[in-house]
Structure 1
Amino acid sequence: MTFKHRIAVVLSTICLPWFVQAKDWQVQMLNYGDAGSMVFEPSYIHAQIGDTVTFVPTQSGHNAKSYVVPRDTKAWTSPINESYTLALQHEGVHLYYCPPHLMMGMIGVIQVGKANNLDTIESKYPRLRSKIALSPERADQIVANIQQ
């Protein structure tokens, strides 16, 4: 390989569009998982702008609904019992839950880059937590994963 070819390979690798390196995270919606009953697995994701998250209804009766989203992001709700892919386009934290199973603590967090909306999470999370009858401590542990 000539010097020019080596330079071309290095430059093309460095200049690859960000979407080529994006990751698709898979979140299973489960009746029972490693953390107990009615869970998202994984329940916490630290992703990057350009990644996607696909919610997979591994077991029936689940969907995901945003409670807090990053600035400049629209609220979202997945259809019940259907896969749903969320494109992560803005930095911040998504706090979401399964509407049929919120009282059982079925919540999750997607952090995209920095948690620049942590103030909103801190102000709104107590109201969401008050609706959890079973395993509120598990929900606290999920939210505690958020990194500043």
Structure 2
Amino acid sequence: MKSAALVLMLLAAPALAETHEVQMFNRSDNGPMIYEPSFLSIAPGDTVRFVPTQPSHNAAAIDGMIPEGAEPFKSKINEDFFVTLTVPGSYGIKCSPHFAMGMVMLIEVGDAPAPALPEDLPARARERFEAILAANPQ
């Protein structure tokens, strides 16, 4: 009888949220000033861990590129940083010091349409976002 109760409790338990790791590089095999991966598709409630694999990077939400109701965030430079994303939608992420050099990534939380890119994006950031979107059609 105890084993049946245990099985019922386990079946009724909610699925555990996942933690996804993103590394931040000055240069990798995929190019300069880059997040790896540059695109994540995650479930609401999942956590993203940003790891400063090489120095001088952070992770910050891009103004105008987070879902309505989501809280913006910004880590410190060289900080191992965790953020839990609960609001479904697309999140544009930048490295503050290297934004103009195109150090950006995209996180899709739940089912989300492709984001509209703000008009004021630096040229290299726009190019990288366009490449990310082309490689990951939504």
Output the TM-score relative to the length of structure 2.
0.85
Structure 1 residues without counterparts, runs of 5 or longer: none
Instruction: Please name the residue that 2:45 is paired with.
Output: 50
Match of 1:25 among 12, 20, 24: 20
Of 11, 16, 30, the residue aligned with 2:13 is 16
> CA 1:123–1:56 in 2, change beyond 3 Å: closer, same or farther?
closer
Matches within 5 A, 1:68-79: 68-79=65-76
The sequence identity of aligned pairs, in percent, is 38
- For structure 2, the 5+ residue unaligned runs are none
CA–CA distance in structure 1, aligned partners of residues 11 and 67 of structure 2: 29
CA RMSD of aligned residues (A): 2.1
Q: 1:64 maps to which residue? A: 59
Please give the secondary structure, in 2, of the residue aligned with 1:53. Answer: strand
2:35 corresponding residue in structure 1? 40
TM-score computed with the length of structure 1 as normaliser: 0.80
Number of positions where the alignment pairs a residue of Structure 1 with one of Structure 2: 135
Q: Distance in 2 between matches of 1:115 and 1:62?
A: 27
> Which structure is higher in helix share?
1
Give, as a single letter, the amino acid of the residue that structure 1 aligns with 2:66. V
Say which one has the larger Rg: 1
